[in-house]
Amino acid sequence: MAVIRDMMPAFELFQPTSVDEALDVLERHDNTWVLAGGLDSMDWFKDRIKRPDVVVELGSVSELTGIRASGDGIEIGAMTSLRDVVASDDVRSRFGLLAQAAAEVATPQIRNQGTLGGNLIQDTRCWYYRGGWPCYRAGGNICYAGTPRSMNREHAVTGQSRCVAVNGADTAGALVALGAQMMVRSAGGERVYEAEDFFVGPEIDIERMTVLEPGDLLTHVRIPGDWADARFYWEKVRDRKSWDWALASVAAAIVESNGTIERARIAVNGVAPTPVRLTDVENLVQGMPANDDTGMAAGELATRGFKPLRHNDYKVPLARNLVRRAVRGDAA
């Protein structure tokens, strides 16, 4: 028998069967970690950068999985696998934008195992941070990625605030564009956040990607019916056809009548520490024809004020063209 060499440091494992039980465990222990699909978490554990004492594995909490009707929309449990999100008739027929985004996450195995909630709250991919460097996000007092000599090709072109890492969740942009709501539970009760408010940038808290604090659980994502009849546009640009995170992505829901845009919701991701909802662009294109001129104007406005770093200025025209294509209505 071979010797086990790369074992994760020990932790205490809890496998609750209900949300209440899970919250109770989180309430009673310090230094806890909530484990969903485990694809982000295990890298941290194996690299010994995050070392929780207590891990709460949610795979047995049946109330957190599944997709059901809710009002005029749907509600998706946070532990629903990306595979099930992609395969769901409800999602495909009415909220195809989310199905498209989820289908382009990583690889088949990761979509089979990874969950919608886990994809949304995954930590950033900045490799200085991931590599265990003591940066701002890790509680230190420097950013290794933002200096002129840093390797920052994949980093943020807007929304930087000491930290220049980007949000890597493909489903996040789609849910912002669909006007989704995130339902969060803690021992103190339930809170509901608009998708765009769920993600927090470094100017609010440099050590978190979302509003979730220790003791909080993202339980469900609710997608209202508001945009179910919209034209959707999803495009993700990445270095490889598989596995990779987005260099930039755009998610748009646009309602047109006779070629005129009535209303739109557009988000880009991979360019900032949070998914960015383009409210100005949405206002601009309202009442305009869905054509290339409008798309050009939208793209220009979307990227106004972007501040690229040393190696990522290509992301500015990339984001501009993605927004342009989304607005003019290319076949996705």
Partner 1 sequence: MSDAAITTETATGHSRRTFIKGVIATGAVVSSSSHLFRARSLSASAAVRASMPRMISLNVNGVSRSVDVMPQETLAMTLRYKLGLTGTKLGCDRAECGACTVLIDGVSHYACSLLTNAVRDRSVTSIEGLEGADGTLHPVQQAVIDEGGFQCAFCAPGFIMSMVALTNENPEPTREEAAEALSGNLCRCGDYNKILNSAMRAAEYARRMV
Q: Which residues bind partner 1 (CB under 8 A)?
A: 1-15, 35, 38-39, 42-43, 45-46, 55, 57, 59, 83, 106-110, 112-113, 241-243
At 328, list the tokens: 């003019």
The distance of closest approach from Cβ of residue 3 to partner 1 in the complex, given in angstroms and rounded to an integer, is: 7
CA 62 to chain centre: 23
Contacts of residue 280, defined as CB under 8 A and 6 or more positions apart, other chains included, come to: 301, 302
DSSP state of 274: S
Instruction: Please give the C-alpha separations between residue 140 and each of 32, 41, 185, 207, 328, in angstroms, as whole numbers.
Output: 21, 21, 30, 10, 44
* Angle between helix 170-177 and 96-103 (nearest 10): 170
The distance of closest approach from Cβ of residue 56 to partner 1 in the complex, given in angstroms and rounded to an integer, is: 10
Sheet of 73-77: strands edge to edge?
Answer: 67-70, 73-77, 217-223, 181-186, 189-194
The distance of closest approach from Cβ of residue 13 to partner 1 in the complex, given in angstroms and rounded to an integer, is: 4
The distance of closest approach from Cβ of residue 165 to partner 1 in the complex, given in angstroms and rounded to an integer, is: 19
Instruction: Please give the C-alpha separations between residue 30 and each of 25, 99, 216, 236, in angstroms, as whole numbers.
Output: 10, 36, 13, 38
Integer Cα distance of 129 and 144 in angstroms? 8
CA-only gyration radius of the chain, Å: 20
The distance of closest approach from Cβ of residue 24 to partner 1 in the complex, given in angstroms and rounded to an integer, is: 13
Which is closer to partner 1, CB of 66 or CB of 308? 66
Which is closer to partner 1, CB of 6 or CB of 229? 6
Which is closer to partner 1, CB of 2 or CB of 331? 2
The distance of closest approach from Cβ of residue 55 to partner 1 in the complex, given in angstroms and rounded to an integer, is: 7
Residue whose structure tokens are 């489903």: 171
Which is closer to partner 1, CB of 112 or CB of 286? 112
The distance of closest approach from Cβ of residue 14 to partner 1 in the complex, given in angstroms and rounded to an integer, is: 6
At 247, list the tokens: 């260099």
Which is closer to partner 1, CB of 238 or CB of 311? 238
Integer Cα distance of 92 and 83 in angstroms? 12
The distance of closest approach from Cβ of residue 119 to partner 1 in the complex, given in angstroms and rounded to an integer, is: 13
Which is closer to partner 1, CB of 14 or CB of 199? 14
Which is closer to partner 1, CB of 111 or CB of 137? 111
Among candidate residues 64, 84, 75, the one with its CA nearest the CA of residue 16: 64
At 119, list the tokens: 């994809």
Instruction: Please give the C-alpha separations between residue 222 and each of 73, 177, 198, in angstroms, as whole numbers.
Output: 7, 13, 13
Which is closer to partner 1, CB of 130 or CB of 162? 130
